[in-house]
A and B are shown apart, each in its own frame.
Chain A
Amino acid sequence: MSVARDDSPAFAGYAHPERLVSTEWLAEHLGDEGLVVVESDEDVLLYETGHIPGAVKVDWHTELNDPVTRDYVDGAGFAKLVGGKGISRDSTVVIYGDKTNWWAAYALWVFTLFGHEDVRLLDGGRAKWEAEGREYTTEPTTREAVDYPVVERDDSAVRAFKEDVLAHFGNPLIDVRSPEEYSGERTTAPAYPEESALRAGHIPTAQSVPWGKAVAENGTFKPVGELDAIYRDGAGLQAGDDVIAYCRIGERSSHTWFVLTHLLGFEGVRNYDGSWTEWGSAVRVPIVTGAEPGEAPVK
């Protein structure tokens, strides 16, 4: 890793503390050689209203997604995108964003699909930086474009498709949506009715653990003991488990994927980015309604 890690004692209990930096650390390291700060938000204009000095913007919708196929950009597209923003293969990338880092975690997960080694989250995201009155600028960041190698996207390790989920029954699934979406009272997140599905409910056997449970009131991740209580004691995850997490389009579950993989150290966690917008509209896939996880379908 090219830039020193954040040794904050607050991160010491996590499985991979090098995946987080604090706002204090970032303020001290802004401008370090080899560090690129990336803002990734739900709101496509938020960056323009003011951003961390030197940060570049990566938009989940217009940049990380393929404009035609429902998929992420390919290796050439990713190389062009991040190289154009001055990110090298060996850059330390620190990502932050709005909505408690939903979209930042999503971007981090996409960087992971391309095997970018050193990519970290700013604990607490944009809101914490702002709450602490730290510096913002509206000055556009200009970074010289660099050559980023074309690396083929590897969907095998951290990404699950519908077929993978069908073959996964018997192993733990985590549904990170709101309880109302889980039970089937509604097909969409409270404020996202345009991203709908035809049926409501959840994938059989999925445990309901809304993503926000991993986050403390100030927007930072909860300490490892509390996370253990939620995911191990509460949802029953055990060391060595293969886990698939899903939500509506894969962004909130990227956040949970980050928690399970980098904070709790589970090694076989995949994010099902098709999520409910695919599962809830697919023909003849099993669905359970109500508050209980339900039974796995007979194979």
Chain B
Amino acid sequence: MSATELPPALAEIRDDFLAITKQERLQLLLEFSRDLPALPERLADHPELLERVEECQSPVFIITEVDEAGHVHLHATAPQEAPTTRGFASILAQGLDGLTVDDFFAVPDDFPFELGLTEAVSPLRLRGMVGMIGRAKRQVRAAIADS
């Protein structure tokens, strides 16, 4: 697949996945699932601020915020027994963090299919991650409209 222009952090994640074997990619996704950043306290205490991503089979909740400097931050939480979903959320939380709004919107919705996980994880499951990106973009659109 021809490489899309991705923001540096996300491009690095993609390149890391593509540099290893299919089986190793599952392991890397597992590492991402372990590294899903914890919610900041102000959100952890207010789960109602997070939105459920219906496209995902497991309960995953995300909130995407735009800070005063115009940078995007995605926070997510998903249960330990849903490591695949946690891994997807973690890639997004780490790969999109701090982007400007414009760079954030430039990330293609279907970029998960560039990670080389299609065979190892299945297209159906990857669609859950596509759904997360769609949800995040909607949240950012709403955040901008409110500001």
A interface residues (Cβ-Cβ under 8 A, vs B): 42-46, 48-49, 61-62, 98, 191-195
Contacts of A194 in B (CB 8 A): 55, 124, 127-128, 131
5 A-B pairs in the complex with CB atoms less than 8 angstroms apart? A44-B122, A44-B125, A46-B82, A191-B54, A195-B124
Contacts of B93 in A (CB 8 A): none
Interface centre among B55, B58, B83, B128 (most CB of A within 10 A): B83
Q: A162 CA to B57 CA in the complex, in Å?
A: 26
Q: A46 CA to B78 CA in the complex, in Å?
A: 13
B81 within 8 A of A: yes
Residue in chain A with minimal CB distance to B60: A191
B55 x A45 contact (CB < 8 A): no
Contacts of A193 in B (CB 8 A): 54-55
A44 x B124 contact (CB < 8 A): no
Q: A98 CA to B84 CA in the complex, in Å?
A: 13
The 4 A-B pairs at the shortest CB distance, nearest first, are namely A45-B83, A61-B122, A45-B84, A43-B84
The dominant DSSP class at the A interface is loop
A48 x B26 contact (CB < 8 A): yes
Contacts of A191 in B (CB 8 A): 54, 56-59
B6 within 8 A of A: no
Contacts of A61 in B (CB 8 A): 122, 124-125
B121 within 8 A of A: yes
Interface centre among A45, A98, A191 (most CB of B within 10 A): A45
Q: Per a CB cutoff under 8 Å, which of A43, A48, A192, A195 touches B82?
A: A43
B112 within 8 A of A: no
B64 within 8 A of A: no
Residue in chain A with minimal CB distance to B83: A45
B27 x A48 contact (CB < 8 A): yes
Extra pairs beyond A45-B29, A61-B122 (8, CB < 8 Å): A43-B58, A43-B81, A43-B84, A44-B120, A46-B83, A49-B33, A191-B56, A193-B54
Q: Residue-by-residue, is B66-90 near A (CB-CB < 8 Å gives 1, otherwise 0)?
A: 0000000000000011111101000
Contacts of B56 in A (CB 8 A): 191
B30 within 8 A of A: yes
B57 x A44 contact (CB < 8 A): no
Interface centre among A191, A192, A195 (most CB of B within 10 A): A191
Residue in chain A with minimal CB distance to B80: A49
Residue in chain A with minimal CB distance to B123: A61
Report the minimum CB–CB distance from A77 to chain B (whole Å). Answer: 15
Contacts of A62 in B (CB 8 A): 119-122
B81 x A98 contact (CB < 8 A): yes
B124 x A49 contact (CB < 8 A): no
Report the minimum CB–CB distance from A63 to chain B (whole Å). Answer: 10
Q: A189 CA to B79 CA in the complex, in Å?
A: 19
Contacting A at CB under 8 A, from B120-145, are: 120-122, 124-125, 127-128, 131
B81 x A45 contact (CB < 8 A): no
Contacts of A45 in B (CB 8 A): 26, 29-30, 33, 83-84, 87
